Amino acid sequence: MLSLAIRMSSSMAARSCRLRIASRSFSVGSQLNNKVTVLGAAGGIGQPLSLLLKESPLISQLALYDIKGVMGVAADLSHVASRAEVTGYEGPDKLEDCLKDSQVVVIPAGVPRKPGMTRDDLFNTNAGIVADLTSAFATACPKAMLCIVTNPVNSTVPIAAEVLKRRGVYDPRRLFGVTTLDIVRANTFVAEAKGLDVNKVSVPVIGGHSGVTIIPVISQAVPGVSFKTADREAITRRIQNAGTEVVEAKAGAGSATLSMAFAAERFVVSVLSAIDGKRAVIECAFVESTVTEAPYFSTPILLGRDGVEENLGLGSLLDYEAKLLQSAMPELLANIDKGVNPAMSVGPSQLESAKHTSDREFQQQLTEEPIRKAFIRKVYSILCCQLLISGGCIAFFIFFEPAKKFAIKFQWLYIVVFSVLFVFLIVLSCFDSVRRKFPLNFILLGLFTLLQGFALGLVSARFKTDAVLIAVGVTAFVVLALTIFALQTKLDFTYLSGILFVLVIVLVAFGILCAILQSRYLTLVYSCLGALIFSVYLVVDTQLMLGGKHKYSVSPEEYIFAALNIYMDIVNLFLFILMLTSSEPQSGDAESGGLVDNGNMQFNEESIRKGFVRKVFGILTVQLVVTMGFIALFVFCQPIKQYAIRNDWLYILALVLTIILVIVLACCEDVRRKFPVNLILLGLFTLCESYMLGSISARFDTDAVFMAIGVTVFIVFALTLFAMQTKIDFTYLSGILFVLLIALILLGLLCAIVQNRFATLAYACLGALLFSVYLVVDTQMMLGGKHKYSLSPEEYVFAALNLYLDIAVTASLLLTVTVIALGSSFQFGYQTGVVNEALVLIGNYTASVALNRTGQPMSDTTIETLKSVVVAIFPVGGMVGGVSAGYLARRLGRKGSLLLNNVPMMLGSGLMLLCAWVASYELLIVGRLFAGLSAGVSTGVAPLYLSEVAPQSLKGASGTLNQLAIVIAILVSQLLGLDFVLGTPDRWFYLMSLTLLPSCLQLLVLPFCPESPRHLLLDKSDSRLARSALVQLRGESSEVDEELSELAREADPPPEPMSLRKLLCTPHLRYLLLVACAMQLSQQLSGINAVINYSTEIFLSANMTQKTATYATIGIGCVNVLVTFVSAAIVDKAGRRTLHMCGLAGMCLSAGALTVSLVLHHNFQPVVYSCVAFIYIYVVFFAIGPGAIPWFIVAEMFNQAARPVAVSVAVLVNWAGQILIGMGYPPVLAQLKDYSFLPFVFLLLVFFLFTWFFVPETKGRTPEDVEMVARERTGTVQV
């Protein structure tokens, strides 16, 4: 229990206060002249707060301020019979007059919370208000007490402190974040639970004022109370989520205004009592603090005449409370950092949305013209020195022959220099304290520039002198032109920073792919993309430096950071231009890394292979022993454990060294094979990796660490045995796994941003699954023998490191199917899912446009109608596109159709993006129509293309990639649509138009992919091009000739294009068309869309918060993606028909069980958890079969002549089913309510029986084989 008596005098007043924190019983012996000012007095909190303050006998003058509406409030309050004299001040020009001579200033001004908003979301609008009001406070009454009520308090208090610091009037004793409402709630809830008098209960609350940062210290409650663990956790959650409880209960009509006013008045009275000389006045408040690592923290504080007299600290915490504190710190520190660095997180457009029109003095502190100009001069001075040094290094290496020969001879030197540069870059980018410390920052920047110049010289020495000089000239011209453009343009490019970062990651992945394929054309595309991205980066970084009108800017203190950014933009631009202007052929072996084809492997003797395996496992055993030793040391040795937790920089250093060593060992074959250098480097790598694992383990419970070790040992042992015994060859998955690894890294970054337990759990599951498969692949590559690919026995170090590459042939097929899936199917899935995330914002945008046009608000009915049009126009366009898919595929080819199909998608995305600048919801509707048109073509051509380019053994997996891309796109749209990513009023335009990126990617890369061999031979009768395409997809092997012979037999006689009429008049083809249409309907009428739309409501019924329910719905998308992966892996083994029936049967049973649970959960609440389970089970079975199989089974059932027409009809039926379910389900839900899933039970049973009796299996069969089955069933067998 918090012992206040020890911290205060032994007087009776102090002992009495220990029983009632911040007692409100006070006496007024004399008439005090205290002036209290309320800023934002006309708002939802300001009005009741002003009323309560008017009744206080401690206040003689009550000044009320707001932008508008405050004069009526002042007049109203002036009729209340009390001592305080009320004066109203309206408008920015009256603000300083209002503040003069104030003793206490309270700021409740700001935008209230709305459903789905967190306190962090409020920062985007409320930060500017607090900054402006605090700036006026600093001018008019800097010695007054400043009480911040405006949320999020965790961020608004730091931003107020920064304003006061810059004005030179900051006094940490006089700045308070009012968290009293948390104490009021804690007192109320504890008193209710224990049946106590709430006026005699006092529960300290520490931490912050949002969500998990609110930490009620129930163990220190007065009087002492005890709870069971479950009850204590429940009451803690209720206190933390009490604000959300009120917001949701008010259903958008406001936030906790009345209780907040009550709490704020209590705190102001306590401050006034302390000013009046009352002793032992104690309140909890969010103030500057050294109690924890957070610079601001809420604890009980002793108030005096000058503000905070003493911070009473944390007191004694239970383990449960200590864990709450530990888990709250990351979020609290992030909230504080957002307030400390507001210039980088608050833009003018966001501040404008606050409807606050006073001067932005706080923003102007960083953008005043003299300061900004001096900053720009300093940046360009540094940049000129850097460019001169770099130019001198380049000239030295290209004109001085000994230096040039030295650079060419010692190629490993570039790797060393690059590694050191990487370390310098991390230090200068991530450690702002180092970057701002003179002269250390200049020393580090100078060393970095010298090393970068040396590296540029080493690179330039490998190119012809003419090419280097041309690249320098072109770079200089481009930089000059782009700088002038950035200075003159009215367009703000600074908002592109996040998108460019994602594109750089994609560019890195693309660069690795180019290094694998060693293709001149791909390298050309890579160079163009790189030059384009860093050209835009140069504009963005220049505008960030300029500040002023731009959305984001760099602080003038960050001249090193600004110069470094622009310098790196110019360097990267030069390198990519150099690659473009040089004709030097790319060098390197396609089999770098030790990966060889078993057909040409020289070391396939059994004895050599066994020795190789023993050596690898010997090295691996030593590595694991060392790693286990480090983990044990960090887990059991408390001093080392605490040291690791306190010193994160050692972990970062180990991480950097690990990355450098991995690059060296993976890329430098001569180093990797040179004894003893290879073992020394591998030993250093093992030590660094072991330190990282030990440091991570120190942050977890010992039981959890050893449980993880036990599970890992079991899985590794089981998978190693499986890899040795299985007849399935997993080595061909190398390329796919590499792509998934990149996706996993991006998901990890997203999880780090979101900080959500469910997202982290999904990320951990996906990572464990991915690296389990990687373990099997690596083991098989090491074993060699029967497997398609293996490692050379010389590569024992490489094998022990688990680094491996894919070869060009497999990568070509992978590249083709990936580009098709990403550039076509992904767009369809993204545009299908993204509208659900942005629909509310679209409605608000529509209402705003109408109001600006006519001056009259649009009716709710009209808004809902327009929203429905935005949603429904997409499938209408899809139907049109689907009908034309077959014709386009036949006339233009599969590749040509998809290339042309990018035009309507880019046009539609561009129109939706244009809505950001042109107030027109008509553009949005037309854009959605064009996007639907493109999606319709994609749904017909993409599965067809994927099916025709894949080998027979992988047709199912390749076809499933179509659905995989769709569900990944839906998941991406859900994540990007979150209200702290792109789901905001000023960003949803970019959310809707992001399909521009995959369209551009497909336009750039698809031309280098092969056309469908089947189309080339059967439709175009070009056997030469068909063989060339097959070689590109399969490599030079006997499979090419066999597949070509099979196609030739199908082409004899040449097939004639078939019309729909002829197809319907042919009995066996009509039968197959009926099957194809039924398969499409089984997907759309399965009820999957209804289940997903109904899921959020079910999650809310399970006592989840709105935010948790949103993440649980995203979890459905994650499950859909994960199980689609599983479906892709097993579809070629299990068969299409079998998987489809399993999916339909599982969905039918799940829908029935879900209906029963929905009916029962009203009477028996725990049943709602079974509803949640059945939703996830339903999605699992959908992803197993009905989600993917209907898309590609059509292409497998029809021959070349009938396939385009059949695909068009099937796609048309699919889109029609989507429209039917979209329009038909809401009335069914309204009528049947909890029984609304019964129709789906019936439909799923019908489709299951139909599949059982009528759908033929296509696994391992050619279209001719399937047609033969259809002939038999229709009695039209040819003799």
- What does the pLDDT look like over 465-480, one tens digit per residue? 777 888 888 888 888 8
Task: Give the strand pairing for 789-791 and 595-597.
Answer: antiparallel
d(CA 1013, CA 735): 22
Q: What is the pLDDT of residue 377?
A: 81
The per-residue pLDDT for 1061 is 85
Residue 115 per-residue DSSP state: T
The two beta strands, 85-90 and 104-107, are unpaired
Q: From 1256, 921, 861, 811, select the one nearest 1072 (Cα to Cα).
A: 1256
Give pLDDT, residue 127.
78
Distance set, CA 299 to CA 17, 335, 520, 787, 858 (Å): 16, 17, 64, 64, 49
| For residues 799-805, average pLDDT | 36
pLDDT at 563 over 50: yes
Closest CA relative to residue 798, chosen from 627, 612, 622: 612
Where residue 13 falls among pLDDT bands split at 50, 70, 90? very low
Q: Tell which residue, 982, 984, 855, 867, has the closest CA to residue 353.
A: 984
Q: What is the mean pLDDT of residues 638-644?
A: 74
**22: pLDDT strictly greater than 60:** no
- Main-chain dihedrals φ then ψ at residue 1088, nearest 5 degrees: -65, -40
Distances (CA, A) of 987 to 223, 372, 835, 915, 977: 50, 28, 14, 11, 10
| 350/289 Cα distance (integer angstroms) | 30
Task: Read off φ and ψ for residue 404, nearest 5 degrees.
Answer: -65, -45
φ/ψ region of 447 (left if φ > 0, alpha if ψ in -120 to 50, else beta) reads alpha
| Residue indicated by tokens 């079991």 | 714
Structure tokens at 1012: 């469908």
Q: For residues 367 and 752, which has the higher predicted lDDT (pLDDT)?
A: 752
- Contact residues for 1006 (Cβ-Cβ < 8 A; gap 6+): 819, 820, 823, 895, 898, 899
79 counts as catalytic: no
Reading the block at residue 1256, the tokens are 């033929």
CB-based contacts of 555: which residues, under 8 Å, 6+ apart? 341, 343, 344, 366
Q: Looking at residue 611, what is its pLDDT?
A: 60
Conformation bin of residue 170: beta by default, left when phi > 0, alpha when psi is -120 to 50: beta
**pLDDT band per the 50, 70, 90 thresholds, residue 1247:** very high
Please spell the DSSP secondary structure of 79-105, one letter per residue: TS-SSPEEEEEESGGGHHHHHTT-SEE
Q: What is the DSSP letter of 25?
A: -
Q: Which of 390-404, 632-646, 825-839 has the lowest mean pLDDT?
A: 632-646
Whether residue 1226 is preceded by a cis peptide bond, meaning omega within 30 degrees of 0, is no
> DSSP string covering 504-516, please?
HHHHHHHHHHHHH
Predicted local distance difference test score (pLDDT) of residue 587: 39
Structure tokens at 801: 């490191």
pTM over 0.85: no
Alpha-carbon span 1008 to 1000, nearest angstrom: 14
How is residue 649 written in tokens?
A: 């920089």
Distances from the Cα of 969 to the Cα of 651, 929, 1092, angstroms:
35, 19, 15
Element (H, E) at 1272: helix 1263-1274
Q: Give CA 275 to chain center in angstroms.
A: 49
pLDDT in tens, 65-78: 998 889 999 999 99
**Residue 343 pLDDT level (bands cut at 50, 70, 90):** very low
| Residues contacting residue 582 through CB under 8 Å, at least 6 positions apart | 463, 464, 467, 471
Domains of the chain (ranges, CATH numbers) = 4-24+31-363 (3.90.110.10), 368-581 (no CATH), 595-730+781-801 (no CATH), 807-1009 (1.20.1250.20), 1059-1279 (1.20.1250.20)
Q: Which amino acid, residue 1147? A: M
Distance between CA atoms of 463 and 822, rounded to whole angstroms?
Answer: 35
CB 915 within 8 A of CB 923: yes
| 1140 catalytic per annotation | no
User: Tell me: the pLDDT tens digits for 1254-1267?
Assistant: 999 988 888 888 88
- Hey, what are 1221's tokens? 């379910």
Q: What is the pLDDT of residues 937-953, one digit of tens each?
A: 988 888 888 878 877 66
CA neighbours closer than 13 Å in the CB half-sphere of residue 567:
29
Residues in CB range of 418: below 8 A, 6 or more apart: 455, 663
**pLDDT for 804 beyond 50:** no
Q: Contact 62/73 with Cβ under 8 angstroms?
A: no
Cis before 793? omega within 30? no
pLDDT in tens, 649-700: 777 777 777 777 776 666 666 665 666 666 777 778 778 877 877 787 777 6
Query: SS3 of 791, please?
Result: strand
Q: Above 90 in pLDDT, residue 264?
A: yes
User: Any idea which residue has 């369209």 for tokens?
Assistant: 999
Average pLDDT estimate for 1211-1238: 83
Whole-angstrom CA distances from 467 to 583, 723, 978, 1205 are 8, 50, 47, 52
Is pLDDT larger for residue 201 or for residue 1050? 201
Q: Does 987 score more than 80 pLDDT?
A: yes
Q: How far apart are CA 936 and CA 947, in angstroms?
A: 18
Which pLDDT score, from 0 to 100, does residue 826 have? 84
Q: Of the residues 132, 209, 356, 550, which is catalytic?
A: 209
Q: What percent of the chain has pLDDT over 70?
A: 76
CA 62 to chain CA mean position, Å: 47
Arithmetic mean of pLDDT over the chain = 77
Please state, in angstroms and rounded to a whole number, the distance separating the CA atoms of residues 1111 and 260. Answer: 29
In angstroms, how far is the first alpha carbon of the chain from the final one? 95
Q: How far apart are the C-alpha atoms of 810 and 806, rounded to whole Å?
A: 7
Predicted local distance difference test score (pLDDT) of residue 530: 85
What are the tens digits of pLDDT across the range 571-619? 888 888 888 776 443 333 333 334 344 444 444 455 555 665 666 666 6
Per-residue confidence (pLDDT) for residue 584, from 0 to 100: 45
Closest C-alpha among 803, 921, 801 to residue 869: 921
281-288 vs 296-304, strand pairing mode = antiparallel
Alpha helices in 341-464, H assignment, sequence order = 348-352, 361-367, 369-399, 401-409, 412-430, 432-435, 440-460
Work out the number of other CB atoms within 10 angstroms of the CB of residue 600: 8
Residues 1010, 1015, 1016, 1021, Cα dihedral to 10°: 180
Q: Are 574 and 567 in contact (CB under 8 A)?
A: no
Provide the β-strand partners of residue 310: 302
Bridging pattern class, strands 205-207 and 214-216:
antiparallel
- Count the residues in the chain: 1279
User: Is the backbone peptide bond immediately before 439 cis, with ω within 30 degrees of 0?
Assistant: yes
Annotate 585-599 with b (16+ C-beta within 10 A) or e (fewer).
eeeeeeeebbbbeee
Question: Residue 834 in contact with residue 993, Cβ under 8 Å?
Answer: no
**Which pLDDT score, from 0 to 100, does residue 181 have?**
92
Of 66, 120, 182, 778, the catalytic one is 182
Helix, strand or coil, per DSSP, at residue 855 = coil
Window from 784-798, 819-833, 987-1001, 1211-1225 with minimum mean pLDDT: 784-798
